[in-house]
Chain A
Amino acid sequence: MLSAHLPACFFYFLILLLFFKKAGLNFFATLNSIKYFILLLFFIFIARALTVKGDIIFSLYDITITEQSLTEGFLVAFKFFLVMLTGLLFSTTTKPSSVKNAVQWFLKPIPFVPEKRVAVMISLSLSFMPVILKQAKEISDAQKARCANLQKNPVKRIIRLVLPLLKKTFISADRLVFAMESRCYNDDRTDPEFLPSGKEIPFLIGSFIISLSLAWL
């Protein structure tokens, strides 16, 4: 029953590999970036392999490995892996600004959610991230120059890294607030247009066909 899903998974894996090739990404370099997740999947596989009951292949004292447990463990780990790969493929090939526009478009029909403000917050936080990382690096370099890495008390170490970081970024955020206020910022502004590229309908049909064939397999 469960092993019936295996061909569908492999078919999908092949499609994903094709997309990786098309996007010009190195598949193994991508795997390297999720190596800890793969380790976690390996543990899930072992946990499943040791717990599911079925036809026994191998048994040693209380540990039994069965045919069903192996296939199910492999299938569960493989499915998580595929979903993860799809997410990676998406985030490496899509611009953050298009994601922001898409989120705004999806939130429009939901009541009580100010979709424009959410979109502004998303783009603000995306632009804050590199600034914070740069400042964190600067602060930790400054601390190292003063031998703060010899400090044994972990609470003091956290405070001495985070407190200046928060203070600095909040002061720069204050300046940003003044800048936005002085330019009369409000929620009812005209956005840049989010134009369809004309490839949406073929893409929808294509993904529908892939999903159908996966269900059939």
Chain B
Amino acid sequence: MNSSKQLRMTVYTSLFVAFIAIGAFIAIPIGPVPIVLQNMFILLAGIILGPVWGLACVAIYLLIGLAGLPVFAGGTSGIGKLFGPTGGYLLGYLPAVFVTAGISKGLGRKMSSDITAMLIGSLIIYAAGVPWLKVVTSMTYEKALAVGMYPFLIGDALKIIAAAYIAKILRPVIKL
């Protein structure tokens, strides 16, 4: 990779870190649960930046959150959030972005492959987040699923459709 391409990817990756951090604040009010765009930006980072830079993007996001800058949902930060009740979702972003990017790249960057990749990515986030929530709060699985997964499923489906469309339009614009 020549240095010009590397510099471009560095800037784009930091841009996506900023988007992920801000995604927690940009909400679209629809129905009882507002649609928060953070996990959409995580998945978009995966399918647009590719596996390596996507992983770096999420790792840096978690790193600055861990180091104490208020980038997690609700302007919070620190180890307490990362290992607190909802920390499983945050740590789940790491494998999710890598797998999403890998599948999207492997299947050849089409809209259908993007949707498959993002579906699997969202499932990984929940697979990490819900058991963590269950262990920390000692709820039953049914309760943990009802609190930590079911209310968000419809919003997630909408976000995945929107993200696939956005990725399709955005790729020619940013020419990676």
Contact = CB atoms under 8 A, between A and B. Distances in A.
A47 B68 CA distance: 29
Chain B, interface SS category: helix
Interface stretch (B59-67, B99-107, B115-123, B124-132): B59-67
A31 B143 CA distance: 27
B78 A170 contact: no
Interface stretch (A58-66, A114-122, A203-211): A114-122
B61 to A, nearest CB: 8
Contacts of A118: 60, 63
Interface string B160-176: 01100110011001100
Interface string B1-29: 00110011011111101110110011010
B138 A51 contact: yes
Interface in A147-205: 154-155, 157-159, 161-163, 166-167, 169-171, 173-174, 176-177, 180-181, 185-186
A142 interface: no
Nearest to A99: B67
Chain A, interface SS category: helix
Interface residues of B, number: 57
A18 interface: no
A96 B18 CA distance: 14
Interface string A120-140: 111011101100110010000
B52 to A, nearest CB: 12
A86 B22 contact: no
B12 A173 contact: yes
A161 B13 CA distance: 21
Interface size class of A (residues with CB under 8 A): 35 or more
Contacts, number: 164
A157 to B, nearest CB: 6
A51 B173 CA distance: 54
A40 B143 CA distance: 14
Interface stretch (A8-16, A21-29, A87-95): A87-95
B79 A87 contact: yes
Contacts of A171: 173
B108 interface: no
Interface string B34-77: 01010010000000000000001000100110011110001111
Given A155-B161, A170-B173, A121 B14 contact: yes
A61 to B, nearest CB: 18
A94 B11 contact: no
A176 B10 CA distance: 11
Given A80-B80, A128-B17, A170-B174, 8 more contacts: A84-B76, A120-B14, A122-B63, A124-B14, A158-B37, A166-B170, A169-B15, A170-B173
Closest 6 CB pairs of A and B: A87-B78, A83-B80, A128-B18, A124-B14, A125-B17, A158-B162
